[in-house]
Amino acid sequence: MKKIHVIASAVALTAVMSSNAFAGATLDGVKKKGFVQCGVSTGLPGFSSADEKGNWSGLDVDVCRAVAAAVFGDAGKVKYTPLTAKERFTALQSGEIDMLSRNTTWTLTRDSSLGLNFAGVNYYDGQGFMVTKTLGVKSALELDGASFCIQAGTTTELNLADYFRANDMSYTPVTFDSSDETVKAFDAGRCDALTSDQSQLYALRIKLGNPDGAVVLPEVISKEPLGPVTAQGDDEWYKIVRWSLFAMLNAEELGINSGNVDELMSSADPNIRRLLGKEGIKGSGLGLPDSWATDIIKQVGNYAEAFERNVGMGSALKIARGQNALWNKGGLQYAPPIR
Amino acid sequence: MADEQRGVSEPAKPALWRRPAVRSLFFQLLLIAGIGFFGYTIFQNTLHNMQQRGISTGFGFLNSEAGFGILMTLIPFDETYTYGRTFLVGLLNTLLVASLGIIFATIIGFIMGVSRLSRNWIISRLATVYIEVFRNIPLLLQIMFWYFAVLRPLPGPRQSMIFNDTLFLNNRGLYMPSPIYEQGFWLVVVALLVAIVAAVLVARWAHKRQEATGQPFHTVYAAIGLVLGLPLLTFLMMGSPLSWDMPVLQRFNMGGGMVVIPELAALLVALSIYTGTFIAEAVRSGILAVSHGQTEAAHALGLRPGPTLRLVIIPQALRVIIPQLTSQYLNLTKNSSLATAIGYPDLVAVFAGTTLNQTGQAVEVIAMTMAVYLAISLSISLFMNWYNKRIQLVER
Ligand SMILES: N[C@@H](CCC(=O)N[C@@H](CS)C(=O)NCC(=O)O)C(=O)O
């Protein structure tokens, strides 16, 4: 069925592109529909996964919800499209989804030749390896000749090839469509290691039959800045997505969270007043209500809240902030000021 | 119409633009031109708009370096080869699984189809159960089932099951020695070709003799003897110019030798068993379509059941079977693209999957892929139609 999806998207792409119906009006379209159509993964705990009732949650999902909160004042107005790695860009190009928030690495090729715009980075990551403990491997450099379970259409495929070429080692790639099959095959012993962005390894390890039987190796072999993406050609929409993420980061920096936002509405701090829409340009520059950022903070929370709830200490993944701490706390997360 | 023609025919021909033939030709050309223009406009618009939106277009990407590895390649490939090469690699893998699948499905189908009509109760019931079960389970599920059913029970490479010190079976595949051809091996190949030609000639001669004198000849045995014997003799005379590259266990995997990967095995088993059910039904209906009188007549002539089936029933049944067989072959080929679910690197997985995604050139890649499937399907149809014509009853 995956195949059908790709073909359908390609046909839709031809149809959309041949008629040039695209006129920079994603926001109007979204308002008319009444929801944001958001592309997410098919199931990656912590980033985007659905529970038994079909409710999505995760760090990537929170970006979709933030955008919906900014546009509608209601974070619930999102519909999700689960996409495998190889389906995701065509789905965005053909207009099937309004935005993509699916652990997607920002690279030059993708930014410059796929007709996409990366709106920011909501998680700084890097590629790592997971092996079974019984293998007794301590470093990725010992993996000469090993087989690797990977997912098709990812930067993972390319980094793996680069790493082994650079270190003059040989490897066998076993490439699957979805993360589910990748994990199952690794579990069944089809490959010696599973490789992917390190955060995803922790997420996927939960899905193993015996999670404690696997270890993540220390090496990080690439830079994987993951972030939300929009289709090129609609700057207005692109900026809405971009600043929705920035609002969450600025809120953390200013100490505003879902718990204290109501109190802080009467704050005298001009930085806080500008973010909460009391002063300055407010929502007008983005074509949004003045309460756009307040709604995000109230309903989704600031970046720290989203992080801890989904992938941090409040979650099963227990990932430390590390590179994803704010810039003034030793990390890389840095948002331009609201003024 | 006829009246009009008779009335006007002789004296004056109508003006050029009134002649029906000319008119219809004109309008047909107009229609074709219209459709052509429509297609061209869509194509140009698409390209133009894609460029405006910053999406790369064109086929230039086929010459850039791919930068990713592929699990199984029938031709040399590594990450330094081009995207164009990934197309070839995927295509060959598709052709391999489709052609092997067609062979196995046909064998299974014929055996099961005939068995279902068997007078032996157990055999016919078993065939019925096989057909009803495997025909009604979605193919994708079957592929997944076989894949994990094949993988799970197999040991890791370090605990391989070893047969005769030459075959190694583990969850990375079935490893066997691969041949290394040494000097002089080409003569063995020549001998094989000569033997095949000789066998064809013998068959023709035997056929003619039987037509003329009615004396049968053991063509099959003679042919087998020739095709096996002659190359073997040459091989021995050349001093066995062949050695074997043995698989050996390395730290993680087996190295050297040849390997049948579990993805290929699972896909082949699933495709053959699934398509086999449809072929079995085609065979059964084909045989039932041959009137019972034919069997009785053959028996009356003193033919035993074996030759009756082979010489009387099957040739007539084939006329009914072949068209259905054609569509099953087409189905199998197209279904082979489900490979992508279990990581077998066929055209759809490699080219319409990874290459499409890494280059982002969906329109070009999907167009090429669809063209390939169309070409394969048309070739199968053409071949089967030709074969069908050939075996039609020839009246004597
Ligand atoms: N960040 C990388 C890799 C992303 C990726 O697809 N990772 C896999 C991990 S195995 C995944 O998240 N799969 C989830 C899914 O297919 O739904 C990229 O952008 O290419």
Domains and CATH numbers, chain A: 2-124+225-329 (3.40.190.10), 127-222 (3.40.190.10)
The predicted pLDDT at position A16 comes to: 61
DSSP one-letter code for A299: H
The predicted pLDDT at position A23 comes to: 44
The predicted pLDDT at position B243 comes to: 86
- Residues 6 or more apart from A323 whose CB is under 8 A from it? A124, A331, A332
Q: B84 phi and psi, to 5 degrees?
A: -60, -40
Read off the amino acid at residue A11: V
Q: Which residues of chain B have pLDDT under 50?
A: 1-4, 7-8
CA nearest neighbour of A169 among A136, A141, A130: A141
Query: Can you tell me the distance from the alpha carbon of A174 to that of A176, in angstroms, rounded to the nearest whole number?
Result: 7
Q: A154 phi and psi, to 5 degrees?
A: -120, 165
Q: Which of residues 235-254 of B touch A (CB under 8 A)?
A: 250-253
Confidence of residue A17 (pLDDT cuts 50, 70, 90): low
**From A17, A86, A189, residue closest to B50, measured CB to CB:** A17
Ligand 1 centre to CA of B311 (Å) is 59
Substitution target from A92, A155, A190, A222 for chain B, most B beta carbons within 10 A: A190
> Nearest CA to CA, how far is A145 from chain B (Å)?
6
**From A135, A175, A233, residue closest to B345, measured CB to CB:** A175
Question: Could A172 and B360 be called an inter-chain contact, meaning their C-beta atoms sit closer than 8 Å?
Answer: no
Q: Assess whether pLDDT exceeds 70 at residue A226.
A: yes
Query: Can you tell me the distance from the alpha carbon of B197 to that of B193, in angstroms, rounded to the nearest whole number?
Result: 6
Query: Can you tell me the distance from the alpha carbon of B277 to that of B265, in angstroms, rounded to the nearest whole number?
Result: 19
Asked if B231 contacts B191 with a C-beta cutoff of 8 angstroms, the reply is yes
Number of CB atoms found within 10 A of residue B156's CB: 16
The predicted pLDDT at position B181 comes to: 85
Greatest Cα-to-Cα distance within chain A, rounded to the nearest angstrom: 63
| A313 reaches B (C-beta below 8 A) | no
Asked if A77 contacts A68 with a C-beta cutoff of 8 angstroms, the reply is yes
Ligand 1 centre to CA of A336 (Å) is 28
Question: Could B54 and A93 be called an inter-chain contact, meaning their C-beta atoms sit closer than 8 Å?
Answer: no
Query: Can you tell me the distance from the alpha carbon of A192 to that of A154, in angstroms, rounded to the nearest whole number?
Result: 19
Query: Can you tell me the distance from the alpha carbon of A37 to that of A30, in angstroms, rounded to the nearest whole number?
Result: 8
The residue to which tokens 């064998």 are assigned = B107
Tell me what the pLDDT averaged over chain A comes to: 92
Asked whether the CA dihedral A91, A97, A101, A105 is positive or negative, the reply is positive
Number of CB atoms found within 10 A of residue B181's CB: 12
Q: Could you report the predicted ipTM of this complex, rounded to two decimals?
A: 0.85
The helix (run of H) or strand (run of E) holding residue A29 is helix A26-33
- Residues 6 or more apart from B391 whose CB is under 8 A from it? B315, B318, B319, B322
CA distances from A169 to A140, A142, A166, A172, A307 (A): 11, 9, 8, 11, 37
Substitution target from B53, B64, B145, B146 for chain A, most A beta carbons within 10 A: B53
Joined together, the tokens standing for residue B58 give 């064109």
Number of CB atoms found within 10 A of residue A121's CB: 21
Q: Which of A41, A56, A109 to mutate to test the pocket of ligand 1 (most atoms within 8 A of CB)?
A: A41
Tell me what the pLDDT averaged over chain B comes to: 89
The predicted pLDDT at position B1 comes to: 44
Beta strands in chain A (DSSP E): 36-40, 49-50, 56-57, 78-82, 99-100, 116-118, 123-125, 127-132, 147-151, 172-176, 193-197, 214-216, 224-226, 229-231
Asked whether the CA dihedral B55, B58, B59, B63 is positive or negative, the reply is negative
Query: Can you tell me the distance from the alpha carbon of A312 to that of A124, in angstroms, rounded to the nearest whole number?
Result: 14
| B340 reaches A (C-beta below 8 A) | yes
Question: Could A157 and B358 be called an inter-chain contact, meaning their C-beta atoms sit closer than 8 Å?
Answer: yes
Joined together, the tokens standing for residue A48 give 């985007």
CA nearest neighbour of B393 among B322, B293, B301: B322
Joined together, the tokens standing for residue B57 give 């277009």
DSSP one-letter code for A190: S
Helices (H), A34-120: 59-72, 88-93, 108-113
Give ligand 1 pocket residues (Cβ under 6 A).
A 41-44, 84-85, 103-105, 151, 154-156, 178-179, 182, 196-197, 200, 224, 226
Contacts of A176 in chain B (CB under 8 A): 342-343
Query: Can you tell me the distance from the alpha carbon of A5 to that of A2, in angstroms, rounded to the nearest whole number?
Result: 5
Of all protein residues, the one whose alpha carbon is nearest to atom 20 of ligand 1 is A154
| A328 reaches B (C-beta below 8 A) | no
Asked if A219 contacts A139 with a C-beta cutoff of 8 angstroms, the reply is yes
- Residues 6 or more apart from B132 whose CB is under 8 A from it? none
Number of CB atoms found within 10 A of residue A57's CB: 18
Phi and psi based region of residue A115 (left: phi greater than 0; alpha: psi -120 to 50; beta: remaining): left
Residue B167's SS3 state is: strand
Angle B211-B213-B214 (CA atoms, 0-180°, nearest 5)? 70
Nearest ligand 1 atom to the CA of A104 is 19
Read off the amino acid at residue B117: L
- Residues 6 or more apart from B171 whose CB is under 8 A from it? A188, A189, A190, B151, B154, B155, B156, B157, B262
Joined together, the tokens standing for residue A148 give 């690797």
Question: Could B354 and A152 be called an inter-chain contact, meaning their C-beta atoms sit closer than 8 Å?
Answer: yes
CA nearest neighbour of A25 among A230, A181, A252: A230
Q: Assess whether pLDDT exceeds 60 at residue A207.
A: yes
Pick the residue from chain B with its C-alpha nearest to A9: B362
> Nearest CA to CA, how far is B2 from chain A (Å)?
48
- Residues 6 or more apart from B255 whose CB is under 8 A from it? A145, B247, B248, B249
Chain segment A245-286, per-residue pLDDT in tens: 999 999 999 999 999 999 999 999 999 999 999 999 999 999
Q: Which of residues 186-205 of A touch B (CB under 8 A)?
A: 188-190, 192
- Percent of chain A at pLDDT > 90 equals 85
